[in-house]
Amino acid sequence: MTATEYDRLSELAVDLGCTLMSGGAEIYRVEESMRRLLNAYRLDTAEVFAIPSCVIVSVTAPDGHVVTRMRRIPAHGTDMELLERCNALCRALCRQPMPLHEVRILLDRLRERPQYSPRRILVGYVIAPAFFAPLFGGGPCDALGAAVGGLVVGLLTLYGQRITGSNSFFRTVVCSAAASLSALALVRLGIGRHADIVTISILMMLVPGMALTNAMREIMAGDTVSGLSRIADTILTGGAIALGAAVGQLLS
Q: With bands split at pLDDT 50, 70 and 90, how would you rate the model's confidence at 201?
A: very high
d(CA 31, CA 82): 17
How far apart, in whole angstroms, are the C-alpha atoms of residue 18 and residue 56? 10
CA nearest neighbour of 20 among 48, 46, 44: 48
Cα Rg, the chain, nearest whole Å: 22
Residue 131 pLDDT > 90? yes
Q: What is the pLDDT of residue 211?
A: 82
Threshold 0.75, pTM exceeds? yes
Residue 109: other Cβ atoms inside 10 A? 11
Going across the sheet that includes 47-51, the strands are 47-51, 54-60, 66-72
pLDDT value of position 202: 92
DSSP string, 126-157: HHHHHHHHHHTT--HHHHHHHHHHHHHHHHHH
Instruction: Please give the helix or strand (H or E) that residue 71 lies within, else none.
Output: strand 66-72
pLDDT at residue 220 in the model = 85
Lowest-confidence range among 14-18, 60-64, 178-182? 60-64
